[in-house]
């Protein structure tokens, strides 16, 4: 059965996340049916097919959550739930680059949330390594080790924000003597830009 705590918490976040992929909620309802949980609202939720309109499906998600005694998560908890869900996909080698891009977008959508900044920088580091063979976003990252670094950071994040284990941050000093690349526009800014970016969100 694919229905698990991480998917459940993601569904609980459906109102707080924009955009939210309601196909996840439909699959969750199907999993509920497969374990013998059938109510009118669960059956209705499971019956939706793409394209799915938020205004149409959202009331059924809320109704099912109410029936199961599950509260809907607010913004902060929703961001944690969404990030956790995506990081688990990365650790399971499921669409690693696509999942990293999703984390990059989550960071942007949430005002450059400091808790996700490492993945924002790793996203640009990977692109930069492929485009110019070097990166100014994550010190020491190469094409040979960046996926390993990403997974290490994913495990650190889960330990800190899900398991409550305090972890020591890896030193990510930018290479000061090189020109830096602006993450959102790919223009070349002043030296030290990435260092300042990290200072702003630390």
Tens digit of pLDDT for each residue in 55-108?
999 999 999 999 999 999 999 999 999 999 999 999 999 999 999 999 999 999
CA pair distance 54, 14, nearest whole angstrom: 10
Q: Is the pLDDT of residue 176 over 50?
A: no
Which one is predicted more confidently, 171 or 147?
A: 147
- For residue 166, with 0-12 CB atoms within 10 Å meaning exposed, 13-18 middle and 19 or more buried, which class applies? exposed
CA pair distance 23, 144, nearest whole angstrom: 34
- What are the backbone angles phi and psi of residue 94, rounded to the nearest 5°? -100, 110
Q: Is the pLDDT of residue 182 over 70?
A: no
E strand residue ranges, 26-171:
none
What's the rounded mean pLDDT across residues 157-163? 95
Percent of the chain with pLDDT over 90: 77
Q: Is the pLDDT of residue 147 over 70?
A: yes
- Give the pTM: 0.79
> Residue 47: helix, strand or coil by DSSP?
coil
Domain residue ranges of the chain, discontinuous segments joined by +: 5-67, 96-200
pLDDT score recorded for residue 18 = 87
pLDDT score recorded for residue 194 = 54
């Amino acid at each position: 059965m694919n229905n698990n705590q991480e998917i459940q918490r993601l569904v609980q976040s459906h109102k707080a996340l924009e955009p939210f992929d309601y196909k996840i909620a439909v699959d969750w309802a199907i999993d509920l049916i497969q374990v013998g949980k059938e109510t009118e609202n669960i059956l209705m939720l499971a019956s939706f097919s793409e394209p799915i309109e938020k205004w149409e499906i959202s009331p059924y998600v809320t109704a099912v959550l109410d029936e199961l005694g599950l509260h809907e998560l607010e913004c902060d908890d929703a961001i944690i739930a969404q990030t956790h869900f995506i990081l688990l996909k990365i650790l399971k080698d499921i669409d690693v680059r696509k999942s990293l891009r999703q984390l990059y977008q989550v960071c942007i959508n949430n005002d450059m949330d400091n808790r996700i900044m490492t993945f924002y920088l790793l996203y640009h580091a990977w692109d930069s390594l492929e485009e110019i063979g070097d990166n100014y976003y994550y010190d020491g990252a190469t094409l040979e080790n960046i996926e390993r670094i990403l997974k290490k950071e994913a495990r650190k994040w889960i330990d800190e924000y899900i398991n409550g284990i305090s972890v020591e941050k890896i030193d990510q000093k930018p290479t000061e003597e090189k020109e830096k690349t602006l993450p959102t526009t790919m223009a070349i800014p002043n030296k030290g830009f990435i260092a300042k970016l990290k200072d702003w969100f630390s």
